Amino acid sequence: MTIESDAGTRQAEADPSKAQLTNASLELTPELADLYRRFDEANLSPLWTQTSNVLTFHPMSKAVPFRWRWADLYPLAERSGELVPVGRGGERRAIALANPGLGGEPYATPTLWAAIQYLGARETAPEHRHAQNAFRFVVEGEGVWTVVNGDPVAMRRGDFLLTAGWNFHGHHNDTDQPMAWLDGLDVPLSDYIDIGFFEYGTERVTDESSPELSRSERLWAYPGLRPLSGLDEKVSSPIAAYRWEYTDRALTEQLRLEDEGHPATVSQGHAAIRYVNPTNGGDVMPTMRAEFHRLRAGATTRPTYEVGSSVWQAFDGEGAMIVDGVRHQLDKGDLVVVPSWVPWSIEADSTFDLFRFSDAPVIERLGFARTRVLDHP
């Protein structure tokens, strides 16, 4: 459902304090106090004292817009590499973005986990599997292979790599250089709705070879071709790695087609692709959407409100995100969180590349999608 205007929203915008409803105003008589005490004893809670918490005129996330600098993250990850071994128990040397609005929880948004994961030279993160869905996005570096169900998958700058739920996976660094990358998971949502299962796998990865291409790519990563041995339904994409080569080429061609006068971009100067499950054309996993955006120098996007939250990572070039009216200038690797129904837009100073992931599949599958795009910046 796309709406361009909405009474509740306008009301809230005129006076942000009006975003929440008011509770019933009742004098707290002794009788009422007694009733409330009895509610407490009976594990009950009246709506009329909670209305303002339970109902809002528009989404009012506890999560706040926030930017993390890669220049801050990377040294801390590096330092962790010196002080913290990777292995069973901790499982991963991952450092999660903790949204300042979420009370110290290691959550970027109420639904999304985003972390920098760091693997030192020749290190191995042991195999395990969990019901939660995960992906990796590589903003710089190479040399680690993530092994998904025994299939070694090279990780290189610009690659988007999948580990859908309940697949065994471990990582090993095949080089003498450390490597760090972005991990994205649906852990906050998954934990909230109580769906987590976990199993340990092997201490070392089950296949330590270092092939250029994973078996999943060799079987699945062709435009419009599907192996006859893989016709069954797949809720998540069978492609373990979406290579930068294709993402870059697709975006380059969209802008060229625009130059040639053909429809190809989302809006003037704004190319974008969605990573999809080739077996159904939908999102790569049931809980997370991933996209890559490229803006020409000088291009901007219109301020947009969306139900659902997202995390952006600057990949290349110079530009800024304006979130809820605040301008965040971004360098390579910087991360920005956009909570639900907080307006965002992008301004590109040079050609500006950004990776994005969000909980949009959750919002859409549950029937809650709404978008509001302002006419003017």
Q: Is the Cβ of residue 4 or residue 260 nearer to its own copies in the bound state?
A: 260
Q: How far is the CB of 9 from its own copies (least distance, A)?
A: 8
Give the contact letters, 301-320, x = binds to its own copies (CB under 8 A), - = no: ------xxx-----------
Choices 45-53, 139-147, 174-182, 319-327 (CB under 8 A): range interacting with its own copies: 45-53
Count of alpha carbons within 13 angstroms of residue 90, beta-carbon side: 13
Tokens of 89: 């128990």
**Considering only 135-143, 174-182, 316-324, 336-344, which stretch makes contact with its own copies by CB under 8 A?**
336-344
Q: Does 327 bind its own copies (CB under 8 A)?
A: no
Look up residue 23 and give its DSSP letter: P
Smallest gap from Cβ 302 to its own copies, in A, equals: 14
According to the binding rule CB under 8 A, does residue 286 interact with its own copies? yes
Question: What is the C-alpha separation between 36 and 213, in angstroms, rounded?
Answer: 64
Find the binding residues for its own copies in span 120-179 (CB under 8 A).
Answer: 130-132, 165
Q: CB 121 → its own copies: shortest distance, Å?
A: 19
For residue 140, the minimal CB distance to its own copies (Å) is: 19
* CA distance linking residue 24 with residue 277, whole number of Å: 48
- DSSP H/E element including 9: helix 7-14
Stretch that binds its own copies, among 135-143, 169-177, 283-291, 319-327 (CB under 8 A): 283-291
Residues 194, 212, 232, 375: which binds its own copies (CB under 8 A)?
Answer: 194
Stretch near its own copies under the rule CB under 8 A, chosen from 34-42, 169-177, 324-332, 344-352: 34-42
CA contacts within 13 A on the Cβ side of 271: 21
Distance from the Cα of residue 354 to its chain's centroid: 12
Between CA 326 and CA 335, with CA 331 as vertex, the angle to 5 degrees is 65
CB of 46 to its own copies, least distance (A): 5
Give CA separation, 335 vs 108, 124, 182, in Å. 10, 26, 10
Helix (H) or strand (E) run with residue 82 in it: helix 70-83
Residues 71-110: x where in contact with its own copies by CB under 8 A, - otherwise, as a string: -xx--x--xx--xxx-x-xxxxxxxxxxxx---xxx---x
Of 85 and 377, nearer to its own copies (C-beta) is 85
H or E element at residue 251: helix 244-259
| Residue 199 in contact with its own copies, rule: CB under 8 A | yes
Number of residues that bind its own copies (CB under 8 A): 145
Q: Is 284 in the site for its own copies (CB under 8 A)?
A: yes
> Which residue from 137, 145, 168, 242 is in contact with its own copies, where contact means CB under 8 A?
242
What tokens does 354 get?
């950004």
HSE-up (13 A, CA, CB side) for residue 307? 18
> Which residue in 296, 284, 249 sits closest to 357, CA to CA?
284
